[in-house]
Structure formats: structure tokens, C-alpha cells
Amino acid sequence: MPPSTLLLRFGSVLACLSFLTPSALVSAGRAQGVAPSTAAVPGTALAPSPAATTAAPPVPGAAHDPVIGSVEGHLIYLSELGTASKTLPDNLRGLPYDTLYPVLLDRMVDHEALVIMARRKGLEEKKEIQREIQEATGRILEGAYLAEVAAPQVTEQAIQALYNRLYASRSTTEEVRARHILVTTEAEARKVLDDLKHGADFATIARVVSKDPDASRGGDLGFFRREQVWPGFADVAFALQPGQVAPNPIHNEFGWHVIKVEERRIVAPPGLSEVHDQLKQQLLSAAVQRAIAQARAQLAIHEFNLDGSEIDSTPKLNMGGGTPAQ
């Protein structure tokens, strides 16, 4: 088994925990003689409150962070157990403290035991292991750096400002839900219109003859705003009322389109709560891109093709963050 597979399988307490079901945890707790309880021990809850997550972490060995285990002299602290528990799935995190505690502690002991045995066998000295350790360290440092310089830029004030810029001044918008049938020639489009006049079902014809990928949905395009489709299509679609079919097909580089409008609606801009997470992600992405560009600008970077010729490695990054899908 490759070293990377071994690390993924055994190198983390969480890798073991992710496969445990709530019933397995309860059974394990009972096997350890732990009575099922719904109340956590005061002051030792594994899932910290929001206020606790912003406080400074406990100092290992301090009175409020007691030693809860030892493997060959390597001490395990309560804070380490709490850190591990925060990555548990919600359905496991909600289990009683005295059910989770012995299971988490056992897994941490397992982890430390395997690490110690690996070191005793000199596995740290293997080149492939050293390389993977360096790669893991690099990933941790990369994440730590971005958390230090990028994440603080994503504040609630910044989210509100982006919302104001993108949405607050936007008026209500009209949208239509339309279907279309795309065919190759005008004659085919006229034949479709004739069939529709004689009572044929639009969606059925679309599934049979339309060349567009949405043919399987009966040509249904869903709701769209005027600016989201090409102008000729928008002019026709927004001139129709629900249930109407455009009397003439329209043409573009893809072929001839027969259009039917199913619904019309007026849509207000979304509230902040509706797009909060989307805007937060957009700001974070932009902050990360800025951090990358700033790092590259301060370092000597050379990239090479396989033939040894140098690649122009000037960063070509979108610093503006773009506009979220609307």
C-alpha cells in the first residue's frame, strides 16, 4: 500500500471518526461503561459555543486544559479533543458528551500510538515520507497564510457594501419563462408553427425535433431576464403573453427558433440574507486572488516548458472579483 494511502487511512483521528455512525458511538460508549446522558459535563462541552470559538485557545497544561491521556509520555490535552470534535458531522456532534468523550479519546490514543510506532520504525527518514510531510506542511502553511491575510478582509461591512453596490439600487425586474424549438431551416420552423396551429403540443414537438440540449425538457428555458438572452430572442419573448407562440421563427447562427412564453413575473432584487453567503464567497475569492498576486509580485518566479524554455509567468488574475450569478 502506498505511503499516501497509509497516511490517509491511519494518519488522522478524524479519518477513523468519519466512518462511525451514531449507533456505533453509543455502543462504544456503553462498552466503556459510560451511561447515556443528555447533559454535557459543565465547562467541558466538546462543541464550543460561538463565543468560545473566538476566545484564545487554552494553554496546554493549564488548569482549564487538563491532561486527559498519555501515550509513552506524549500528553493529550482536553483542548485537542475539543478541536477534533469540531470537525465531526452535525449528527455526531449532537450526541451526549459522555458518549463521545471515551470514543474520541480512544481514537486520539490510537493515533498517537501509530505515530510513535512509525517513528520507531524510522519511517520519517524515508524520502517519500519526508516529501509527503513537506507537502502537508506546505498545505497547512498556505491555508494559515490565507487565513491571516485574506479572511480578515471578508467582514460584514464589506459584504453589506458589495450588496449595496450590486443590489440595493436595483429596481424590480421582469422575467419570462419560455420554451423554444431549434431547427436547421426556416422550412422546418414553418412546419413546426403549422403543427402547433393544428393543436400539436409544443413540449412534445420540442422533444422530437429540437436540436437544442434543452429538448429533453420540452424546450423549457426556465425564467430569464431580458439581458440574459440574445437581443433578438429577448425582443420576441418579452412581447408575448403567457400561452402565446411567436407567429414567426427567428434566426441566429445556431438555426431557426420557434418561441412560446409560458409565464411572466416581476422579481424584486434579493434581500441581503438571500445572497449573503454568495457575496461572502465572492469577497473571499477576490481576497485570495489578491494575496496570491501580492505574494508572486514579491518573489522571483520562473516557470519552464518541458523543453526548457521559460514560460511567461506574469500573473493574469481577476482582481475585481467579478459579479455574482444573478
Domains of the chain: 3-148 (no CATH), 150-169+271-326 (no CATH), 173-267 (3.10.50.40)
At residue 314, the pLDDT reads 61
In 3D space, the residue among 178, 229, 184 whose CA is nearest the CA of residue 203 turns out to be 178
How many angstroms separate the Cα of 231 from the Cα of each of 37, 180, 226, 270, 274?
65, 15, 8, 25, 29
Please list the residues that pair with 71 across neighbouring strands: 74
Round to whole Å and give the CA distance between 22 and 17: 10
Query: At 65, is the pLDDT very low, low, confident or very high (cuts 50, 70, 90)?
Result: confident
Q: Is the model's pLDDT at 57 over the cut of 70?
A: no
Round to whole Å and give the CA distance between 117 and 130: 16
Query: At 150, is the pLDDT very low, low, confident or very high (cuts 50, 70, 90)?
Result: very high
In terms of average pLDDT, the best of 10-24, 30-44, 162-176, 245-259 is 245-259
Q: Is the model's pLDDT at 53 over the cut of 50?
A: no
Cell numbers of 208, please?
422530437
Please list the residues that pair with 311 across neighbouring strands: 303
Q: Is the model's pLDDT at 241 over the cut of 90?
A: yes
Percent of the chain's residues with pLDDT above 90: 63
Cell numbers of 214, please?
434543452
Query: At 5, is the pLDDT very low, low, confident or very high (cuts 50, 70, 90)?
Result: very low
Residues in the chain: 326
At residue 186, the pLDDT reads 97
Round to whole Å and give the CA distance between 192 and 65: 76
* Residue 118: other Cβ atoms inside 10 A: 17
Query: What does 179-219 look like in DSSP terms, one character per residue?
Result: EEEEESSHHHHHHHHHHHHTT--HHHHHHHH--SGGGGGTT
At residue 63, the pLDDT reads 62
* Mean per-residue pLDDT, 218-234: 95
Round to whole Å and give the CA distance between 68 and 49: 21
At residue 50, the pLDDT reads 35
Cell numbers of 89, please?
458531522
Q: Are 76 and 104 in contact (CB under 8 A)?
A: no
Cα-Cα-Cα-Cα torsion 261, 267, 269, 272, nearest 10 degrees, comes to -110
* Mean per-residue pLDDT, 199-223: 96
Query: At 315, is the pLDDT very low, low, confident or very high (cuts 50, 70, 90)?
Result: low
